[in-house]
């Protein structure tokens, strides 16, 4: 069974540009969550999508957005990149319902220069 | 969501059991305790979770106190590959189940 797949694995962007990251969840999983990990702030929740609807949102500016497609694949977009957006971006997928576990992808390492 | 408190770091000898404590004194009745670990900037790996009963799987055992205010993750025979940051997370069993609130975790170093 394939795990959570994130693409690309590494990305270098310039300040002011925008970037789109992709996440393919485990087959059958309808919940996809995104996290940002930086050395200073640790792992922080960005948002969660379930059945193409954003269900939860973390405390990030509006430059961070996402969407989910009918096949549960998800993308997140960061516009007007800042140096502080350099981070490991992680995606996790899970079945819906309590008593379930979330499985993480290997992440996309974004460097903003 | 309930907050968790974990020691910053722990050392463990290879082959010995590693007991990782976690305090979650404000946990609510519908909140589960989850454990994840992260090895050197890879994606976090699910280990185990439980509500009130003790749980065991091929990776670890989870012991939750009767009042549910604390728990212990037990790695029965630590290996060098168990060196990682271990996160204890309390997760609500509602529509917020996709949201995991990570703390700083415990850096576990397994030594030969």
DSSP class per residue in B43-67: PPEEEEEESSS-EE-SS-EEEE-TT
pLDDT tens over chain A, length 113 residues = 689 999 999 999 999 999 999 999 999 999 999 999 999 899 999 999 999 999 889 999 999 999 999 999 999 999 999 999 999 999 999 987 667 889 999 999 999 99
A45 reaches B (C-beta below 8 A): yes
Start-to-end CA span in chain B (Å):
38
Query: Which of A56, A90, A107 is facing B98, going by the closest CB pair?
Result: A56
Tokens of A77: 């977009």
The pLDDT, as a whole number, for residue A93 is: 94
pLDDT tens over chain B, length 112 residues = 568 999 999 999 999 999 999 999 999 888 899 999 999 879 999 999 999 989 999 999 999 999 999 999 999 999 999 999 999 998 876 666 678 889 899 999 999 9
The pLDDT, as a whole number, for residue A96 is: 74
* Chain centre distance of CA B20: 7
Q: How far is it, in rounded angstroms, from Cα B60 to Cα B48?
A: 7
Query: Which of B93, B101, B104 is facing A45, going by the closest CB pair?
Result: B101
The pLDDT, as a whole number, for residue B3 is: 86
> Residues 77 to 96 of A: which have CB under 8 A from any B CB?
88, 90, 92, 94, 96
Whether residue B98 and residue A32 make contact (CB cut-off 8 A), yes or no, is yes
Whether residue A101 and residue B49 make contact (CB cut-off 8 A), yes or no, is yes
Query: Which of B51, B98, B104 is facing A31, going by the closest CB pair?
Result: B98
DSSP class per residue in B79-102: -GGG-EEEEEEEEESSTTTT----
Nearest to B91 by CA among A100, A59, A54: A100
Count the helix, strand and coil residues of chain A and give each as a percent rounded to the nearest 5: 5, 55, 45
The pLDDT, as a whole number, for residue B101 is: 86
Q: How far is it, in rounded angstroms, from Cα B27 to Cα A8?
A: 38
The pLDDT, as a whole number, for residue B104 is: 92
Helices (H), A1-113: none
The pLDDT, as a whole number, for residue B2 is: 63
The pLDDT, as a whole number, for residue A21 is: 98
């Amino acid at each position: 069974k394939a795990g959570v797949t994130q693409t690309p694995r590494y990305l270098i962007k310039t300040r002011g540009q925008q970037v789109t990251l992709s996440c393919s969840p485990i087959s059958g999983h309808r919940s996809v969550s995104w996290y940002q990990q930086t050395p200073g702030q640790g792992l922080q929740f960005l948002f969660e999508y379930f059945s193409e609807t954003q269900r939860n949102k973390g405390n990030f500016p509006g430059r961070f957005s996402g969407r989910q497609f009918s096949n549960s694949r998800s993308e997140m977009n960061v516009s007007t990149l800042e140096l502080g957006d350099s981070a490991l971006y992680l995606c996790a997928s899970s079945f819906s319902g309590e008593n379930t576990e979330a499985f993480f992808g290997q992440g996309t390492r974004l460097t903003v220069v | 969501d309930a907050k968790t408190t974990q020691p910053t770091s722990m050392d463990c000898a290879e082959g010995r059991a590693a007991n990782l404590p976690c305090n979650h004194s404000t946990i609510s009745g519908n909140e589960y305790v989850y454990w994840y670990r992260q090895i050197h900037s890879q994606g976090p790996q699910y280990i185990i979770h439980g509500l009130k009963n003790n749980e065991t799987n091929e990776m670890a055992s989870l012991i939750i106190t009767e009042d549910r205010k604390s728990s212990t993750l037990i790695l029965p025979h630590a290996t060098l590959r168990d060196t990682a940051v271990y996160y204890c997370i309390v997760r609500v069993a509602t529509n917020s189940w996709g949201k995991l609130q990570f703390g700083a975790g415990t850096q576990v170093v397994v030594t030969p």
